Amino acid sequence: MTSLADAHLLTLIPTLLVAAAAAGFLAGLFGIGGGAIFVPVLYQTFEGLGVAHSVSMHLAVGSSIAIIVPTSVRSLMAHAKKDAVDKTLLKQWLVAVPLGAVAGAIVAAAASSEELRGIFAALAFLLGLKLLIGRVGFTLGTDLPGLVGRSIAGFTIGLLSSLMGIGGGVLNNTFMTLYGRPMIQAVATSAGVGALISVPGLVAYIVGGWGDPALPAFSLGFVNILAVLLVAPASILVVPAGAALAHRLTRRQLELGFGCFLLIVAARFAYSLF
């Protein structure tokens, strides 16, 4: 199989564009930032192009983090204009979430491809299961915990999201709604959480993979620049098509669909370990 470093540019571009279109459509369909979709799509693309097995998963996660940087920042600005963001919580998470994101990138850099795929499979399984179950009929409190509890939660959200290459929306939405916050505020605040995760996570993935001899061409550490430049804009163009289909489905149908998608992805990564 031809490696990415040796692949002819004219062959590489269509492959990544097809991957971007698939990810963008699914992201629009399920109404998410796309990290949980970009990672498996990019992983399969890198594997198919012959990228070294030891770094293909790391590249998929790192590149996914890079792709969601502009999306999360833009989303945060849009929600902030509507005054729906919990700015107090974000200020309290200015240290905890980025620290978690950097810690996740450090763990990912030290992990083998098999370990990283195993982590992704386990987390995707749990998130998929949560979506299939739907809303839980209880809360853990009438308001968010104190500063210590919030900091622990922020660090954990940053850590797990960075390991998966996602913006943390599902995790933060679950955390805030379990403590009685309205879903619209949770969703709006998640845009800020995505920015706090993706920006330091991007830097950490670049540094963590710097100089790895197995990396293909066009890579800065564990971030493949060509993949990011092609996938980010191409996926955005296809998002409306997925969103159009989403409006024909109920929220519960979308949750079930995305939950099943995550379980399939988890099974695919788990199978790759054997």
29: three-class secondary structure by DSSP: helix
Q: What is the rounded distance in angstroms from the CA atom of residue 121 to the CA atom of residue 51?
A: 20
**The pTM is what?**
0.81
Q: Is residue 220 part of a domain?
A: yes
Handedness of CA 133, 138, 140, 142 (dihedral sign): positive
Q: Is residue 163 part of a domain?
A: yes
Confidence at residue 31, expressed as pLDDT on a 0 to 100 scale: 53
Confidence at residue 2, expressed as pLDDT on a 0 to 100 scale: 45
Q: Is residue 210 part of a domain?
A: yes
Q: Is residue 135 part of a domain?
A: yes
Q: What is the rounded distance in angstroms from the CA atom of residue 177 to the CA atom of residue 97?
A: 18
Paired tokens of 122: 């386990």
Task: Give the CA distances from residue 146 to residues 85, 87, 179, in Å, rounded to whole numbers and listed in that order.
Answer: 18, 15, 12
Amino acid at 22: A
Show the CA angle centred on residue 27, arms to residues 25 and 31, nearest 5°. Answer: 125
Domain count, the chain: 1
Q: What is the rounded distance in angstroms from the CA atom of residue 64 to the CA atom of residue 112?
A: 18
- Mean pLDDT per 10-residue run, the chain (274 residues)? 51 72 69 73 85 92 88 71 83 96 94 91 88 74 89 96 86 86 80 88 95 91 89 76 72 79 87 84
Confidence at residue 243, expressed as pLDDT on a 0 to 100 scale: 66
Confidence at residue 69, expressed as pLDDT on a 0 to 100 scale: 81
Paired tokens of 237: 């163009």
3-state helix, strand, coil split of the chain in percent (to 5) is: 75, 0, 25
Rg (CA), the chain: 18
Q: Is residue 1 part of a domain?
A: no
Q: Is residue 35 part of a domain?
A: yes
Contact present, 193 and 169 (Cβ < 8 Å) = yes
Q: Is residue 152 part of a domain?
A: yes
Paired tokens of 57: 């998963």
Q: What is the rounded distance in angstroms from the CA atom of residue 50 to the CA atom of residue 52?
A: 6
Domain span at residue 166 reads 9-271
Confidence at residue 1, expressed as pLDDT on a 0 to 100 scale: 41
Q: Is residue 174 part of a domain?
A: yes
